[in-house]
Amino acid sequence: MGDTAVYAYCVIARQSAPARGRVPAGLPRAGRPEVLAVHRGMWCVAAEVPLADYGPEVLERRLRDMRWVADVALAHEAVVEYFARAKAATVVPMKLFTMFSAPDRAVAELRNRRSELSDVVRRLRGCREWGVRITRFRGTPVSRVPSAAPPTGAAFLTAKRQLRDDARAASIATLSAAEDVYQALAAVSRDARRRDDAPAEVPAPPLLDAMFLVPIARQNRFRAAVRRAAALCRSAGAQLTLTGPWPAYNFVQAPS
């Protein structure tokens, strides 16, 4: 066994080999990203990495270092983004730490998956991924607290009940707005998926954390729909954050 492995960044569907003149350096201590021919019109961007840094036992230990993992993720993303900007190219991002024992092994395994990869290319072709997150405004009052203590116990209980009902109504309004936003943006997209994996310890999980696979031809329509959605969220006491466009990491897997 050699001292290196082959790290795969992405698979690219394109008639000719993509240029790599100004490709980013890639992972720490990795070789320069290269383009491997997988099949006619299909290419893999990969680089040699030292097993001293990326071997199984070393990697298991280093995965506990969140700063190092974040650095690797950013380096991986930079390479994928570079090739995603190429004209007439569809990029299928690989999962972080996808590795093979040698270049010929990487090509052989990807050729065996050619049918699956072709399906993914058809699903992603001409699209980019956008992210939308909706959160409640912090400290937004849902009702005016009485300036003086109620004169009677009954009045106090009535005021307390009103505050509770107002809070419930505000919560329902923001949840309803988030659902309306998801449906409106999904209607403009080729595919849409929600992320429901917020950690249990998060005190205020987002009302919506979703990804949208948007055809480039509909990008202006999508952004206009986002502007309308942001206004709807503000009126309901929530804030919409848009990110992207990105390579379609969250749409590589077929819908379940």
Is 70 exceeded by the pLDDT of residue 248? yes
**What average pLDDT does range 96-100 have in this prediction?**
96
Amino acid 143: pLDDT? 46
Amino acid 254: pLDDT? 84
Is 90 exceeded by the pLDDT of residue 150? no
% of the chain at pLDDT higher than 70: 82
* Cβ pair 93, 80 in contact under 8 A: yes
* Domain boundaries of the chain, sorted by first residue: 4-124, 127-251
Rounded CA separation 78/45 (Å): 12
Per DSSP bridges, beta strands 99-100 and 4-13 are antiparallel
Q: Which of 15-24, 73-82, 122-131, 240-249 has the lowest mean pLDDT?
A: 15-24
**What average pLDDT does range 118-133 have in this prediction?**
95
Rounded CA separation 107/125 (Å): 22
Q: Which residues of 197-206 are buried (b: 16+ CB within 10 A; e: fewer)?
A: eeeeeeeeeb
Amino acid 153: pLDDT? 63
| pLDDT tens figures, 174-205 | 788 899 999 999 999 999 999 876 555 555 68
Is 60 exceeded by the pLDDT of residue 37? yes
Is 60 exceeded by the pLDDT of residue 166? no
Is 50 exceeded by the pLDDT of residue 93? yes
7, two tokens = 């790290």
Task: Identify the helix (H) or strand (E) that includes residue 223.
Answer: helix 219-235
Is 70 exceeded by the pLDDT of residue 138? no
Q: Could you tell me the pLDDT band of residue 152, with boundaries at 50, 70 and 90? A: low
| pLDDT tens figures, 140-149 | 544 444 555 5
**What average pLDDT does range 118-122 have in this prediction?**
95
Amino acid 98: pLDDT? 96
**What average pLDDT does range 220-249 have in this prediction?**
93
Domain spanning 127-251, CATH class: alpha beta
**What average pLDDT does range 111-136 have in this prediction?**
94
| pLDDT tens figures, 39-51 | 999 999 999 999 9
